[in-house]
Amino acid sequence: MESIRRLVLLALTGVFLITNLANAQDDQQGFISLDCGMPHNEPSYIEETTGLKFSSDSGFIRSGKSGRTNNEDPRLGMSNIKPYKYLRYFPEGILRNCYNLTVMQGTHYLIRAVFVYRNYDDLKQRPIFDLYLGPNFWITINLQEEFGSVDRFWRTDGKVEDIIHMPKSNFMDICLVKTGTTTPFISTLELRPLRDDTYTTKTGSLMLFNRWYFSNSESFVRYPDDVHDRLWDTYFSDELTQINTTTTVNTTNAFDLPQAIVSKASIPKDAGKSWSRRWSMQSTDDVHVYLHFAEIQALKPNDTREFSILWNEKTINHNYSPLEFMVDTVPIRTSTKCDDSCYLELVSTTSSSLPPSLNAMEVFGVLQLPQSETDENDVTAFKNIQAFYKLQKMSWQGDPCVPTQYMWTGLNCSNMLPSIPPRIISLDFSYYGLNGTISSDIQYLSQLQKLDLSNNNLTGRVPEFLAKLKLLTVINLSGNNLSGSIPETLRNMENNGLTLILRGGNKNLCLDPSCESEAGDGKNKKKWLVPILASAASVGITTAIILLIILFYRRKKRSSKDIRPSMVVNKRSFTYEEVTVMTNNFEKTLGEGGFGVVYYGNLINNEQVAVKVLSQSSAQGYKQFKAEVDLLLRVHHINLVSLVGYCDEGQHLVLIYEYMSNGNLKQHLSGECASSPLSWANRLRIAAETAQGLEYLHIGCKPPMIHRDIKSMNILLDEHFQAKLGDFGLSRSFPVGSETHVSTNVAGSPGYLDPEYYRTNWLTEKSDVFSFGVVLLEIITSQPVIDQTREKAHIGEWVGFKLTNGDIKSIVDPSLTGDYDSSSLWKALELAMSCVSPSSSGRPNMSQVANELQECLLSENSRKGGSQDVESKSSLALSTSFGPEQTPDAR
């Protein structure tokens, strides 16, 4: 009977396992599990221990060779299972080898790369190489160093790297980069989609340090127990005691923790002591910790488990009690690194009868990803061109433009600012052996300035769609077999500066504009050609001489005028009489500032302009006038107001700008404008565009510039509500080299002025960051910057006060009526509070600000299913102070 019972139990266990694995396979929606190096002709398979379905990686990468690990040893743990028997290695010598994966834009993914060496090459030389996530460095894979605790999963000769990342397009590259003499390789590459409301960051991605669940067992937990295939390691110590439950714990919070983890918890062995854990991490500016709690003991009526949560000896949560048989997650997000080590402590309150407990925790370092990927439309267009001509180059892997040292051959790109996606500005396919017609996808490279298709075997006509590329300065089509005539639109572009090179080859190409229509007339027209050309040449020479004489006298006349020698004059200069005419004798006033009155104007071509006239009583004078003109003459950015011209005549100093029909941001936030309130998406876009303009001043200008007067009044909006930063009269050059600041008299607007700059007279780019943070708070709250009737007069202090007291809803502008993505709003709020940190060292730079606002905007734009309500106070983990080391922490 006993033997029969065992057989029945074994059969039931087998049925349960098979059922679980079948269900697991159904739940793998969105999973990508690549067995790297597995031959392409081998079918996909189900890995026995996990139920995960693995496939060959051959369709996702164009380089590398298949290898196989040596020996099987039962002591080698997971490195013996099937996915780690094959590997792909890259001996070709090219520096960058990239997997190209199709993903869902805006979705968080857990990305896991596994490397199991096992002396596959018989060299006994463990490699070192770099791993890149798109164009950004991820980590150095060093198989010669000591393994971490997560790597114990593979026991020996193995490395695993986990990161949580949100792609900004529908394609993602993961690249192995050779850095020395050893050969890069990879065993598996795995992607798992996650919920977007779980592992959130202000900027960057979350690189896993470790996941622990607190149990005295040695079992790792992953899929199918964990539906997201997170890898959980155990941790226990002599100071801890394990408690268990057989009761099902409610795991319906966003993190979906496995029952195998939450059914266990740890408490201090000595009930009078605190629960503590200390660990060391590699240097990282940001550490994110997720603490997972559940009360798994049936509490008696007089039992209480209540404790404070301390992070690096600072209390971040008072009087916390785990929920009974229900998972609750407390995130800790900090903006400073752990100095020597990270330290978590749970301390019982005086009213608690039970010691603190913890079920599991996850620790991440934040990996900043400053470099934007190449514009997605450009990448798609280029890949279509590549497919059209059947071009295959082994080095064409990863992002086409960045990092610049790996830029694809045949391209040149604009890479001015890391936060702005690079654009393809030059395409050189000369001597590439191209056949067929000119690909129509070229027209979608909208920023193209130079196109060289010379010395190929191209046939057909010169396409008219090339004229759509308005920035083109050079088109070289020589050395081909093109035919037909040149489109008139391209001829017109030649008159406006386009260099069109066609001669050489192209025997059937009609180079004269009228040659096709004259072909029927034949010889009769040819006999008139020579005298006509001679007459035209004579007229041309005479015209040129007259123009030179006129130009000479104009320059002589201009040089006799009294123009200040320090003023740059490569923009249009107007007389005061012309200014009077264009403003219709200063008829319509647009506004008034520290410089003077701004009037509405119209140029002769009906171009609308804003005319700023220096008031004789203005505190600003010629110095500020000159500073603004000089700056705007040399900077050009879509989010900076353009200078149309100026007047510098005697006492009349006038600046003439492009007209911004929707006024300034302050008018819209204060309700001055009759239009409906700005939506959250529009507010985010305006903030992001302003940040890009400011980032350009800080990084794109040589030398860099500090604006010094960032405020909502100086953010102007055009007819499409595109934001442009204006009023550069107080701008100053920022030093380059070893200096870190400009020592200068304090200037700026009350409420927006950096307190550190005010105290020290030291001006840095972080002074602009503070002012921008104040503007961002205005955008979120629509509150005045200074209001003496509030609990706290300054907007930054007021928001901090409200957050500290848990009064969240009263912060957000009520006119938004809850119509916003709560995640993007709280990210923006956290960003604003970090910008207005009293210490400049606690503030982000403008590249980080611009990146984060782009992420917020992406989150808002991808919002599905209508409006989302602001989260309640109970769902927030708030800090009690907002200094340089701690920012509002809202989930």
Q: 481 is written with which tokens?
A: 């077999």
Indicate the residue type of 524: N
Note whether residue 338 is domain-resident. yes
pLDDT at site 524: 45
pLDDT range class, residue 503, cuts 50, 70, 90: confident
Q: Residue 169 — pLDDT band, cuts 50, 70, 90? A: confident
Neighbours of 532 (CB within 10 A): 10
Within-domain flag for 759: yes
Residues 713 and 860 in one domain: yes
CATH code, 802 = 1.10.510.10
What's residue 283's pLDDT?
66
- Do 147 and 178 lie in a common domain? yes
- Do 118 and 169 have their domain in common? yes
For residues 100-123, give the mean pLDDT.
Answer: 93
**Residue whose C-alpha is closest to residue 656's, from 693, 712, 608:** 608
Same domain, 678 and 747: yes
**352, 306 Cβ separation under 8 angstroms:** yes
Distance CA 155, CA 106 (A): 35
Q: Is the pLDDT of residue 490 over 60?
A: yes
List, in sequence order, the alpha helices (H) in 190-317.
259-262
- The percent of the chain in helix, strand and coil, each rounded to the nearest 5, is 25, 25, 45
Beta bridge partners of 290: 331, 362
716 and 686 in a single domain? The answer is yes
Q: Is 749 helix (H, G, I), strand (E, B) or coil?
A: coil
538 falls within a domain: no
Model pLDDT, residue 540: 55
163 pLDDT exceeds 90? yes
Band of pLDDT at residue 840, cut at 50, 70 and 90: confident
Examine the residue annotation and report whether 197 is marked as an active-site residue of this protein. Answer: no
- Could you tell me the CATH number of the domain that includes residue 116? 2.60.120.430
In which band, very low, low, confident or very high, does the pLDDT at 689 lie, cut at 50, 70 and 90? very high
Does residue 238 share a domain with residue 310? yes
Rg, Å, the chain Cα set? 33
859 and 783 part of one domain: yes
* One domain for residues 670 and 741: yes
Per-residue pLDDT tens digits for 374-416: 998 899 999 999 999 999 899 999 999 999 999 999 999 987 6
**Distance in Å from the first CA to the final CA of the chain:** 57
The domain that holds 345 is classified in CATH as: 2.60.120.260
**Alpha-carbon 453 to chain mean position:** 33
Last residue of a domain, one of 496, 515, 534: 515
Average pLDDT of span 556-576: 51
Active-site residue (options: 709, 754, 768, 821)? 709
Q: How confident is the model at residue 561 (pLDDT cuts 50, 70, 90)?
A: very low
Reduced to 3 states (helix: H, G, I; strand: E, B; else coil), residue 557 is helix
At residue 554, the 3 state secondary structure works out as helix
Selected residue with higher pLDDT from 698 and 887? 698
User: What per-residue string of b and e applies to 66-86 under the rule 16 or more CB within 10 Å gives b?
Assistant: bbebeeeeeebbbbbeebbbb
The domain in which residue 143 lies consists of 27-194
11 pLDDT band, cuts 50/70/90, is: very low
**What value does the mean pLDDT of the chain take?**
83
181 has a pLDDT exceeding 60: yes
Q: Is the dihedral of CA 118, 123, 125, 131 positive or negative?
A: negative
Region 620-630: mean pLDDT is 67
Closest CA to 655 of 722, 727, 558: 727
684 touches 633 (CB < 8 A): no
Same domain, yes or no: 181 and 241 = no
6: its two tokens? 């065992």
β-bridge partners, 614: 596
Q: How confident is the model at residue 458 (pLDDT cuts 50, 70, 90)?
A: very high
Residues 332, 291: Cα–Cα separation, whole Å: 8
Cα separations in angstroms, 201 against 24, 165, 254, 743, 869: 29, 10, 16, 35, 20
- In a domain, residue 550? The reply is no
pLDDT tens digits for range 337-372 = 787 889 999 999 999 999 999 999 999 999 999 999
The answer to the question of residue 455 being in a domain is: yes
As to burial, measured by CB atoms within 10 angstroms (0-12 exposed, 13-18 middle, 19+ buried), residue 844 is buried
Pick the last residue of a domain from 367, 392, 418: 367
Residue 553, domain member (yes or no): no
Confidence of residue 446 (pLDDT cuts 50, 70, 90): very high
pLDDT range class, residue 860, cuts 50, 70, 90 = confident
E strand or H helix at 246, and its extent?
A: none
183-187 mean pLDDT: 97
Per mean pLDDT, which range of 670-679, 825-834, 848-857 is the poorest? 670-679
Q: Is the pLDDT of residue 167 over 90?
A: yes
Residue 341 within a domain? yes
Cα separation values, 413 from 60, 373, 428, 466, 600, Å:
25, 12, 12, 19, 39
Domain count, the chain: 5
Whole-number pLDDT of residue 715: 95
Boundary of a domain, candidates 601, 629, 658: 658
- Collapsing DSSP to helix, strand or coil, 439 comes out as coil
**Range 224-235 burial, b when 16+ CB lie within 10 A, else e:** bbbebbbbbbbb
Q: What values do phi and psi take at 624, rounded to 5? A: -70, -35
Query: Is 612 assigned to a binding site?
Result: yes
DSSP E strands: which ranges in 15-127? 32-35, 45-46, 53-56, 65-68, 86-89, 96-102, 109-116
361 CB-contact burial (10 Å; exposed 0-12 / middle 13-18 / buried 19+): buried
pLDDT cut 70: percent of the chain above it: 80
Residue 566 pLDDT greater than 70, yes or no: no
Helix (H) or strand (E) holding 178: strand 171-178
745 vs 142, more confident = 142
Residue 557 lies in a domain: no
Q: Residue 640's Cα: distance from chain center in Å?
A: 21
pLDDT band at 2 (very low <50, low <70, confident <90, very high): very low
Distance in angstroms (rounded) separating the CA atoms of residues 727 and 643:
11
Predicted pLDDT at 62: 92
Query: What is the pLDDT at residue 145?
Result: 77
Pair (161, 234) in one structural domain: no
Q: Residues 703-736: pLDDT tens digits?
A: 788 888 899 999 999 988 999 998 876 777 655 4
pLDDT over 60 (residue 818): yes
Among candidate residues 829, 877, 821, 852, the one with its CA nearest the CA of residue 196: 821
| pLDDT tens figures, 89-106 | 999 888 899 999 999 988
Residue 565 confidence class, pLDDT cut points 50, 70, 90: very low
- Torsion-angle region of residue 35: left (phi > 0), alpha (psi -120 to 50) or beta? beta
The pLDDT-based confidence of 759 (bands split at 50, 70, 90) is: confident
Model confidence at 807: pLDDT above 60: yes
Q: Are residues 262 and 304 in the same domain?
A: yes
Judged by DSSP in three states, 843 sits in coil
**Residue 878 burial (CB count, 10 A):** 17
**Dist. CA 419–CA 415, nearest whole Å:** 10
- Give the C-alpha separation, 735 to 729, whole Å: 18
Average pLDDT over residues 307-336: 92
Note whether 225 and 188 are same-domain residues.
no
Contact 635, 701 (CB under 8 A): yes
- Contact residues for 394 (Cβ-Cβ < 8 A; gap 6+): 62, 63, 92, 94
Lowest mean pLDDT among 31-40, 230-239, 625-634, 729-738: 729-738
Q: Are strands 205-214 and 128-133 parallel, antiparallel or unpaired?
A: unpaired
- Has residue 482 got a pLDDT over 80? yes
**Does pLDDT of 537 surpass 60?**
no
What pLDDT was estimated at residue 36? 97
